[in-house]
């Protein structure tokens, strides 16, 4: 007796039938039928340049600010933010200047819960760790939502946030503050196409720079986990105008992600456009 084992078209379903021969059977491998709708864009967690351009050298200067400034109500309106409530203005973390004058204090990172129109400040610890060190923290926010944040400098001049949540509800990640470019800011939204496993996506990112210099440049890259949100619509909202925290002209830079489910990866880079390194750090995977 012999057997022929064939895939019936379902996931994992097999039909076993007698072929009529003697002493042999044939196994026909099923095709790869996994749809990208069941996959997510996540990280490879590389901690080397892999031959790609990485960021410029920086001074790691994240610190905890007790307050945005003495009269926060006068400046919070200069920033964009999700929802109808303003973000908190105390006990916030931000970078001072990253060696040079990229910032006059920028970061003030927050999570936003879409359903409750409320904010949560995830205080990172430790901070300013060596290149290649990624730290993992878990937070319970908005009552019972569990967030995992991985953060650190995977390579020189690149800071990375990987934020995931255990449920299937929307959230937003945002940041704001002052750029050091005072009156000389140029801000540009950019995109670059790439492919993962033969599927085409767009990388959406922002370039904020000071005119007349080749070093005071800051890049922001935003990649939602959901594949369909990396196709033809920009993945974040941004603003770069207003008097700024330190009362300079046109030095505000504020951004937040569009609503995301499951998670989002955000990279920040000094001076250099590291889109090729970022794309190489991405993969399609199950969560």
Structural contact between residues 240 and 184, judged by C-beta atoms closer than 8 angstroms: no
Are 229 and 258 a contacting pair, CB within 8 Å? yes
* Count of CA atoms in the C-beta half-sphere (13 A) of 36: 18
| Residue 173, beta-bridge partner list | 111
From the CB of residue 267, how many other CB atoms can be counted at a distance below 10 Å? 24
**86, 70, 269, 259 alpha-carbon torsion, rounded to 10°:** -10
Taking the C-alpha atoms of residue 41 and residue 196, their distance in angstroms, rounded to an integer, is 9
The reply to whether the predicted model has a pTM over 0.75 is yes
| Residue 31: DSSP 8-state | P
DSSP 275: H
What pLDDT score was predicted for residue 211?
A: 86
Cis peptide before 97 (omega within 30 of 0): no
Neighbours of 164 (CB within 10 A): 19
One digit per residue, pLDDT tens: the chain, 287 residues?
Answer: 444 444 444 444 444 344 444 554 444 444 343 456 689 999 999 999 999 999 999 999 999 876 665 434 445 667 889 999 888 877 789 999 999 889 988 999 999 999 999 999 999 999 999 999 999 999 999 999 999 999 999 999 999 999 999 999 999 999 988 888 877 888 999 999 999 999 999 999 999 998 888 999 999 999 999 999 999 999 999 988 765 555 555 578 999 999 999 999 999 999 999 999 999 999 999 98
């Amino acid at each position: 007796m012999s057997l022929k084992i064939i895939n019936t078209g379902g996931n994992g379903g097999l039909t076993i039938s007698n072929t009529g021969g003697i002493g042999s059977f044939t196994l026909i491998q099923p095709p790869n039928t996994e749809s990208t709708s069941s996959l997510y864009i996540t990280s490879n967690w590389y901690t080397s340049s892999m031959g790609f351009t990485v960021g410029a050298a920086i001074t790691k200067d994240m610190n905890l600010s007790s307050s945005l400034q003495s009269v926060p109500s006068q400046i919070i309106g200069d920033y964009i933010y999700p929802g109808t409530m303003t973000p908190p203005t105390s006990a916030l973390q931000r970078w001072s200047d990253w060696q040079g004058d990229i910032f006059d204090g920028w970061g003030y990172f927050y999570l936003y819960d879409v359903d409750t129109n409320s904010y949560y400040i995830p205080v990172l610890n430790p901070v300013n760790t060596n290149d290649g060190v990624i730290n993992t923290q878990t937070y319970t926010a908005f009552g019972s939502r569990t967030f995992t944040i991985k953060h650190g400098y995977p390579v020189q001049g690149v800071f990375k946030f990987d934020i995931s949540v255990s449920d299937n509800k929307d959230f937003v990640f945002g940041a704001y503050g002052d750029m050091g470019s005072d009156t000389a800011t140029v801000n540009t939204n950019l995109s670059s196409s790439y492919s993962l496993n033969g599927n085409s996506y767009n990388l959406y990112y922002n370039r904020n720079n000071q005119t007349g210099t080749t070093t005071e440049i800051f890049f922001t890259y935003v990649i939602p986990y959901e594949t369909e949100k990396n196709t033809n619509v920009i993945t974040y909202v941004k603003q770069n105008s207003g008097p700024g925290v330190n009362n300079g002209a046109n030095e505000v830079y504020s951004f937040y992600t569009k609503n995301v489910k499951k998670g989002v990866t955000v990279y920040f880079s000094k001076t250099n456009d590291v889109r090729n390194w970022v794309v190489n750090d991405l993969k399609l995977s199950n969560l």
